Amino acid sequence: MSNPEGTAPVLLRGLAALLAAALGAAIAWALVTLPPSSGLRDAVAAQIPASGVAHPVTAVLLNFRGYDTLLEVAVLLLALIATWSLRLARPPAGRNSPGLVLQDLVRLLVPLLIVLAGYLLWLGAHAPGGAFQAGALLAGAGVLLTLVEGRPLGPLAPAVLRGLAALGVAVFLAVALLVMGGGRLLEYPRGQAGLLILLIEAASTVSIGLALAYLFRGDEPAPPEHRR
Amino acid sequence: MDAAGSLTLGIIDGLIALAIIALAFGATAMRDLFAGVVLFIAMGLFMALAWVRLDAPDLALAEAGIGAGLAGALLLAAVRRLAGPAHPEGIGDDEQP
């Protein structure tokens, strides 16, 4: 850490490499010597009919372990709030004007990405897909819009943006609390699990997409007169 | 599956694993931050292929979209901000907040 290139001394780097190699070897050994097991696959497969969805991953994420997913969506919201609190962040697009090709490409791609996000969201009930993947597509659209317009959702008021960012956690929590009649959080009533999961996933998709897109942009949405 | 088919798949799996390790090493060892981020994105795409081969398409979608795509975009934006006002192309804002 003293030489001009800003790198650590050779001895320290060698030690770090040795430790990393030892850790890697230990993990590989643990993996190879794992006893053969199907894990929880059979238990999940047995409960699929009661979960409201047909795809085991979605059943685990939104039903059996819905609590984990709720916390994941909340963590993403917290990250966004923390980023918005760092007022020094400036938009990466700056003043470089996007070319005509990029503008036209974005005009074609963004509607397509939105449709695809809806498709993935719907598909999540019985095939690989779901809220995070759909949200990532929406965020991709948001990043493209940021590159062209400077912000993902320019015309919307900041209060609306903040509401949309919190929508996923809000709907998730509301559903979790409303179905608490049986005494436990997120224990869906029989027969309505599919609908409730779709509702949660739809709200989460919007919030995840918005959060990821605004993490790329980096600063808080503020009305134009307050900026600069 | 016949022997030739599984041999081909084995070779493909081995190449994917090697590519992931090589790209991971390159991403961390690169002097140029931009080149490092590009290698990181490439590593994410190979990771997505690995998840597909491990029969985990859900993870593959998430890895390609979030791990490679959005994390890559975030890192590129961070590199551009790190370059600061002195950046030759003037991409970053050079005015004070």
The pLDDT profile of chain A, 228 residues, written as one tens digit per residue, is 445 556 678 899 899 999 999 999 999 999 999 888 877 888 888 888 888 888 888 888 888 888 888 899 999 999 999 888 876 655 554 556 778 888 889 889 999 999 999 999 998 888 888 888 899 999 999 988 888 877 777 677 888 888 999 999 999 988 888 887 766 777 787 778 888 888 999 999 999 999 988 888 776 666 554 444
Domain count of chain B?
1
pTM above 0.80, yes or no: no
pLDDT of res. A7: 66
Q: Which of A163, A133, A143, A147 is nearest to A99 (CA)?
A: A147
pLDDT at A227: 45
pLDDT of residue B36: 93
Where does the pLDDT of residue B69 fall: very low under 50, low under 70, confident under 90, or very high at 90 and above?
confident
Positive or negative CA dihedral for A41, A42, A44, A49? positive
Interface with B, mutate which of A97, A120, A216 (most B CBs under 10 A): A216
**Predicted pLDDT of residue A22:** 96
B91 occurs within a structural domain: no
Q: Is the pLDDT of residue B97 over 50?
A: no
Residue A127 in 3-state DSSP? coil
- DSSP E strands in chain B: the ranges are none
Residue B62 in any domain: the answer is yes
**Mean pLDDT, range B7-31, rounded to an integer:** 92
Range of the domain at B44: 3-83
Give the percent of chain B with pLDDT over 90.
41
How far is A192 from A200, CA to CA, in rounded Å? 12
CA angle A202, A203, A208 (to 5 degrees): 100
Give me the pLDDT at residue A202, please: 92
Q: Name the residue ranges covered by the structural domains of chain A.
A: 1-34, 40-226
Q: Do B81 and A90 touch (CB under 8 A)?
A: yes
- Note which residues in 78-97 of chain B have CB less than 8 A from chain A: 80-81, 89-93, 95, 97
Q: Which residues of B touch A212 (CB under 8 A)?
A: 66, 70
Q: Does residue B97 form part of some domain?
A: no
Q: Which H helix or E strand runs over A25? A: helix A10-32
How high is the pLDDT of residue A161?
A: 87
Given this model, what pLDDT does residue A193 score? 83
- Measured distance CA(A97)–CA(A3) in Å, rounded: 40
Q: Is B73 on the interface with A (CB under 8 A)?
A: yes
Residues 6+ apart with CB under 8 A from A194: A52, A53, A125
Which residues in chain A are closer than 8 Å to B58, comparing Cβ atoms?
57, 128-130, 133
What's the pLDDT at B22? 95
In the block, tokens 């030892």 appear at: A22
Position B92 in a domain: no
* Rounded Cα–Cα distance for residues A211 and A167 (Å): 11
Structure ipTM: 0.73
Q: Residue B67 in contact with residue B43, Cβ under 8 Å?
A: no
